[in-house]
Chain A
Amino acid sequence: MIAASTEVLSFPILSALVILPLVGAIVVSLLGKTRPEWMKLAAMTSSVATGAFSLWLLGEFKTGEAGFQFVSQHVWISQWGISWHLGVDGISLFLVVLTGILFPLVIVGIDPHHNETSYFAWMLLLQAGVMGSFLALDLFLFFVMFEIVLVPMYFLIGGWGYDQRVYAAMKFFLYTMTGSAFMLVGIIATVSLARRDLGIVTFDLIKIAEGANFSTNAARWLFVSFAIAFAVKVPLFPFHTWLPDAHTQAPTGGSVILAGVLLKMGTYGFLRFGIYLFPEAAMWARPTLFTLAVIGIIYGAIAATMQRDLKRLVAYSSVAHLGFIVLGTFALSSQAVTGAVMQMVNHGVSTGALFLLVGMIYERRHTREIAELRGIQHVAPIFAGVFTVVMLSSIGLPGLNGFVGEFLILIGSFGAARWWTVVATVGVVLAALYLLWAYQRVFHGEPDEANASFKEITAKEGMLMAVFVAIIVFTGIYPKPMLERIEPSVNSFIEHVEGKTK
């Protein structure tokens, strides 16, 4: 037994999670011309294998341990103190698993319609970048991964999106790159200031967070430089304007990944880097971030209510949901942060599923206008049923996954941010309003001529959605396995923050 466990640890599973999709991308682009029939197989194999590795990781993960596990560290650029340093803890574990599961589902389940080779290659490259961002424990490595993600996403939106795709792709790229421009200066400044305390140049996150003592003023500036990058990525109001465009114009697969995992790089970044490195500055910035988060919740909900395009509606609902996550993150109580981490995953699952369903509607009707759709419940009852479950999860109905996260966030935040929480609660009601109203308009009533031939969910689509529904229901009814893996890491994180801010 002991021998077996050391054998498992000696396998660099985290590096494999990053490198496997990368290798897949290269193989896919090489096979594309000569052996197109094997190309799709290669794409599926590498993404499914990555998914399998991430599940294996979930199985091997030691419950109850707070620190980083499966750590892998190799010197990369010795002159600058940079290493290939990966590790996973309760905060990143489920995001890694989500990334592992979501990508194969998208790659297997959604047909790009044209230029398959480049589509799959970009997808796999994206997976490698996202995995790397969630696993990196080196500031430089994190930045590299955080930034490199832009390129595949840009091409996915620009190449396979809808009418306004070029505009949306460009806007996405430039907004996010502007954010990271500040972060790069911040990272370098962090390292350069930490050098005085540590005596060496290192980009190692843990060494800097535990060893460096930044002056109050410097830490605040540095926190702001990180916060700008993450606020754009999340996106927080008022940096959110790229999101509705990118989401709406991206192909279905792109939207699923964007909502599912890409936005989480922002909220995760706040936790892992912003707050962990500069706890005092995070406390200082709290009121501002609470306010922006709550504005996002209310504004996102109202904007979603007003949308005529179903996909845009889901996009604005993301702004609202991520507002909750930011609220929970900065409440910095054990419950709220646990809830926030959980909600990152939940939002990925339910919004990802919603985008898939909207994509299916578009495939059938070639429109996403709510006014054009009517009475689908009559002709496609199973489809409507799946949509209902996913929608209720997004609303946060008790018994489904969205409730657990949102509930934890709200009770956890009440102590630290009472009035903000009260206002945020209104957002829960609004979520019910815009989603149910949309459901009513799209699915209820008598189908007109165009909607009468709406095709029922196919077997392939059904299997795809079954995975999502299973996760939604399981987490909703039995969240304990998830919570007991997240909580120890969150508790030690909160201890670190409290220790540094006393």
Chain B
Amino acid sequence: MSTRLANQGRLINTDKAVSFTFNGRHLRGFEGDTLASALLANDQMLVGRSFKYHRPRGVVASGAEEPNGLVNLGKGATFEPNQRVTTTEVFEGLTATSQNHWPSLEFDVGAINTHLSRFLPAGFYYKMFMYPRSFWKHVYEPIIRKSAGLGKAPKDRDQDTYEHFHAHVDVLIVGGGIAGLAAALAAGERGARVLLIEQTAHWGGRAVVDTPEIDGMPAQEWVNTTVQALESMKNVDLRLRCMGAGVYDHGYALAYERLTDHQPDADGPRHRLWRVRATQIVTATGAIERPLSFAANDLPGVLLASAVRDYVVNFGVSVGDRTVVVTNNDDAYRTAIALKKAGLDVPAIVDARSEVEGDLIDQARALGIRIELGKGIAKVKGGKRVTGVALCSQAGQGAVLEEIECDCVAMSGGWSPVVHLWSHCGGKLNWDADQAMFRPDPERAPTGADGEGFVITAGTANGHLFTAEAVSDGWAAGRAAAKAAGHNKRGGQAPMGLDAAEGPISPVWLMPQGASHALRSKAWLDFQNDVKVSDVQLAAQEGFESVEHAKRYTTLGMATDQGKLSNINGLAILSQSLSADIPNVGTTTFRPPYTPISMASIAGVARDALFQPIRKTPVSDWANANGADNEPVGQWRRPYAYLRPGEDVHQAVNREVKNARDNLGLLDASTLGKLIVKGPDAGRFLDMMYTNMMSTLPVGKCRYGLMCTENGFLMDDGVVARMSEDTWLCHTTTGGAERIHGHMEDWLQCEWWDWNVYVANVTEQYAQIAVVGPNARKVLRKLGGMDVSAEALPFMQWADGKIGEFDARVFRISFSGELSYEIAVPAGQGAAFWDALLEAGAEFGVMPYGTEALHIMRAEKGFIMIGDETDGTVIPQDLNLQWALSKKKEDYLGKRAHSRSHMADPNRWKLVGLLTEDGSVLPDGAYAIADGKNENGQGNTQGRVTSTYYSPTLEKGIAMGLVHNGPDRMGEVIEFNKVDGGTLRAKIVDPVFYDKEGEKQNV
């Protein structure tokens, strides 16, 4: 059984017990425990089920590489699935439940899959679910969806807060082991601004477990001394529980700091996402031990040798009473030695190598541990946990030589440097055959803006598995990084490490070498996704020779651990199956993040009201307090209609339209773009920007203008007013303000930079209110101030002055067809001006109206709307706007494009009005049906609806649409598709439905 040992464990505080629950069971651990160590201390070996076969799963590792120990953590507003038990620190009141099983962890119905496993090989889903075709939608997909996914998605809102932080440093060092610490020391001493981050809660990495000597001190003492020295440096920032998640272009890196996961009652954000810009990055990310592939290596109780050692040394937890160590290298002997020294039984070290020599072997022998050379594991015995191992000759096919009783197997297949961060932005790898590992090629580092490498790798991450090499490599990396960042101050000395002498590793990718198919189909590579040696071999046999294809076919390395344990072993099996060298097969691509980071940390503060900016006009507060039913227009929220008590939206819209036509309406038009264009060449410039002539517009007058892109399509429209000899004010659509401002600057800065024109976006300087309806003039006269008579201020003119006590610029323009004034006042006076209009307008029947009433009134008048009648494929000619295309101008944006053959084609669809025969409203976007079918067998079309409304004025549906030869087909009836499948007949008519002569607006 797994249990806590007395008086051991360097990281736990046995004076402080913490209680927590696992699947409802109350358990106790100590402060300093991880959830994994605390579960093991309570003999909770079984922690979950595998993804495909629902096999029992126990903890296999002790760090971020753990593939099995994934649990649901927390409840309600703190619930989170797929949390790794090895990286979760226990705290008082922690609640965890296991996942991926039903009805219980101990008894799981899905485990039937393991008995069907020979019918569920790699690629099973691809082969099985192809036929019959209709089964996919109705049978396969619903079932697969139900069983897909790991853990449950949270249901409640997350109660915690999250934030980002932008840090700019000379040197970012990822990894707080001895190499990272040495790098920080070297870079810090040179005066560089350093950020050193470590994903765990402790400095020192593996060295403090394996206890080599550095600078004549035990590793722990050296780590303490070094951290103290770093903390006293003002230019060095040290962060624990902060993981290097990704390395990106030009020294950008993401670091994921977990601030309160281990103390959930603490104040402040739970996670902080560091958005780092580093001149140089040192990846001292360590190495990960590889499992060995032998039959039933997935049973709970089979762990990495280093993990077994970690649990004893760090947490005083023995995974088993009797542990068999199986290895192909010397390092695993440390585990046997550590266990023996802790008073535990090690019945044998099973070493695949036939000859061994070194300090660790001598030590093991001296402790009386039996060493079996040239041997392998034929299979592990047991059901839900290990009960023993069967030994065989490594060179053979698995004939059992002997069985040994044990309750734990500690395996080591050698070490793989953590090259993820090195590789994220393009760092390349070399295969080191002597050490059987991929390691970074310093000649092919990720390159930065200067074309030089910006990532330096150090320590075991660089393939230096021994302390002396690792610590001096770290120091050299720190020094080089500081230098590359411009810090050359001399000083300090590289730390000196001392190692035990070790013999060479012998690569072992399968145990035994000639394992039968029966053994290979029980030899796991990917513990979470249930990929076995036989699956990868099958993939190779079926032609999935590219490592990227084999990965996707078998799902090897596609689990939440992204193959940290499985990839190299799987790759080696694949290369053997293909009779190719490992480096020729290559690795799959390493992609960020290193381990999953919370979605909330990516969002940071951007949630709820801060999810995105909501733009407000000076009238927005009044609107929101007075029934506004808002619609998003870009980041603005514009009232669609102002609802009165008891009204629905349609009733409100109809009331608003009628009232504006009969009495007096107010529209908050503040969101419309307002651009000042000024300079001696402003007229000439606007003549290029607009299709019509703006340079000839007299001062004091307004003109409606169209803008096209260079490829001829309509991009914006609006009223232009001439302010003075050299100044124009251009109104844009609400969505167009920033875009058209940028568009103008683009042409001024990049094409006509010798023209003297300045543009300023003054959109938000003004609140702009449209005062609309037969009573518009009356209300303005009542407020007093400037002369707004037809004589003093005729249609399509503007004037500055006072309306009441307000500084006003009044435009006689109309988008409704009614008598209309658009009045701009400084935004700071906007709310008061709105109030004044409401108050003075009361006797004239004033009502505010929203965007839907605006749309209906303009459609009744046949005015086009950018975004309704236009969609990026429509040219002015399509909308019968030839009158706005200047024939006098030699050039304007879009002019050349209008003579392209397709643009000049007489067969383009053109704007018409549409009236249904029964008065109903045409569906928005509906297509007009034409005879015959196209080459894809679809019905032909001859037009489409661009705007469609119920007109309260005409008391029936009205629509505008683009129809083939439309203007020549007045009176013809065509059919439109309805959403529910039927059709609707509509007559082609003039698009101006109301006051065609414009008598109402020009009074």
Query: Do A and B interact with each other, yes or no?
Result: no
Q: Which residues of A contact B (CB under 8 A)?
A: none
Q: Which residues of B contact A (CB under 8 A)?
A: none
